Amino acid sequence: MSHQFSVFLHCRLLHFTMPLLTDRLFLQPSLRCLGVLVYFLFLTHICKVFLSAASELICSHEPIVALVGEDVLLPCHLEPAVSVSDETVVWTRPDLIPKYIHYHQDGRLLFEKQNPSYSLRTRLFMDELLRGNVSMKIFRVKISDAGRYHCVLEPMVKEDFIQLIVGAVSTPFIEVVTNNSEHVVLQCNSTGWYPEPEVFWLDGEGNLLSAGPTETVRGPDDLYTVSSRVTVEKRHSNSFTCRVQQNHINQTREAHIHVPVSTDFSTVQFFSPWLWIGVVSLDVVWIFIIIIIVMTGFFTRLTDTMNLWRRRRRNGKHTSVKAGHQMVNLKHLIEKGRESPIVTGQQKKLKKTMRVKNRTINHE
């Protein structure tokens, strides 16, 4: 408030003294308009300088938390608000080389100075620069983006910093490892966490269960895989929960398992959504395979039937043509009056052929 009050007094003082100066310097009426214009321009510039000097750059004092793949905003502004659209606004990370995350100068981003890992992933809001808002947005956050960011207004010699925390989470799942008449061993697995999470087991009433040590493996992508086992007695509640949490990023994921009241633990019911998706997908695949088998058998049988019908039809046509030729020959012999035992035999053979043909046609 003291800075703002000081700026106010300076501007009011100039407001009362400048008209007196213009009257003394520009006594001629023709020069008085020019003096008034110079007065307002000078007053505007002086007030802007005083306001800029009195403004304070303020960034969030609380760490900003973002998950991998999300977009995140690093809030930072001048108070009281002063336009910085014509100023040089720089965001840096001192632990990187080059350290420049976003270098805004002359109204544009200088790509040649930007760290390559942030290429096409940062943005300032041009409309907000007029109101003193120099917040920076980072797109598609990576684990490597975690760190301390500095915002610098170079001409105004102002600087502040903000801490970015990046995390990754995944949904756990539970499986039954072993069971006997008295105990059941459950195992909880979860892959893709950052930073390293903790694993807890709870019964149906929300009470913590005593479990073995959590096994943790860090992959080449810096993500953690955790696994934990717990042995429960069958007299306990038949509902159990595996809770994986990371307090640093304030994230928690859970998986539940229900064990039927009967002692047959082979029929446990899982409530992990990924398991249900897998079961439904498997059922769909089996139904599709059965439909393909049935349709293949149907079309194979239909093809065989059509081929048999074509063969029989061709055989019938061949028999008809042959019998027709024999009938023509027989009529030719009768017309010439040359009946003989051979002709009689041909007539019998022809009649036999015609009977076979008629039976074939009737069968079809």
| pLDDT tens-digit series, residues 181-212 | 778 899 999 999 999 999 999 988 888 998 88
Q: Identify which of 119, 145, 133 has the alpha carbon closest to the alpha carbon of residue 64.
A: 145
Which of 52-66, 130-144, 156-170, 245-259 bottoms out in mean pLDDT, i.e. has the lowest? Answer: 52-66
CA pair distance 1, 133, nearest whole angstrom: 20
Share of the chain above pLDDT 70, in %: 66
> Are 90 and 160 contained in the same domain?
yes
Do 295 and 357 lie in one domain? The reply is: yes
**Domain count across the chain:** 4
**pLDDT tens per residue, range 305-347:** 888 887 777 776 555 555 556 565 655 655 655 444 444 555 5
Say what the pTM is. 0.58
Q: Are residues 143 and 204 in the same domain?
A: no
Of 167, 184, 199, at which residue does a domain stop? Answer: 167
Q: Is residue 239 part of a domain?
A: yes
Number of H helices, E strands in the chain: 5, 19
| Mean pLDDT, residues 289-296 | 88
Does 36 share its domain with 80? no
Q: d(Cα 4, Cα 53) in Å, to the nearest integer?
A: 10
* 45 and 61 inside one domain: no
Q: Which of 32-41, 108-117, 292-301 has the lowest mean pLDDT?
A: 32-41
Q: Is the pLDDT of residue 148 over 90?
A: yes
Contact (Cβ atoms closer than 8 angstroms) between residue 242 and residue 188: yes
Return the pLDDT at 40.
44
DSSP characters over 127-184: HHHTTTB--EEE-S--GGG-EEEEEEETTTTEEEEEEEEEEB----EEEEEEE-SSEE
Q: 170 or 345, which is more confident?
A: 170
Its domain, for residue 18, covers: 2-54
Residue 120 phi, psi dihedral angles, 5° rounding: 60, 25
DSSP 213: P
Residue 46 has pLDDT above 60, yes or no: no
Q: Quick check: is 149 in a domain? A: yes
Q: Is residue 299 a part of any domain in this protein?
A: yes
74 and 38 share one domain = no
Both 189 and 253 in one domain: the answer is yes
Q: What is the pLDDT of residue 30?
A: 53
Q: Do residue 97 and residue 145 come from a single domain?
A: yes
| pLDDT tens for each residue of 225-274 | 999 999 988 765 678 999 999 999 999 999 999 876 554 444 444 455 66
Q: Is 279 within the bounds of a domain?
A: no
Contact 232, 209 (CB under 8 A): yes
Question: Is residue 67 located within the same domain as residue 151?
Answer: yes
Based on the fold, state whether residues 147 and 69 are members of the same structural domain: yes
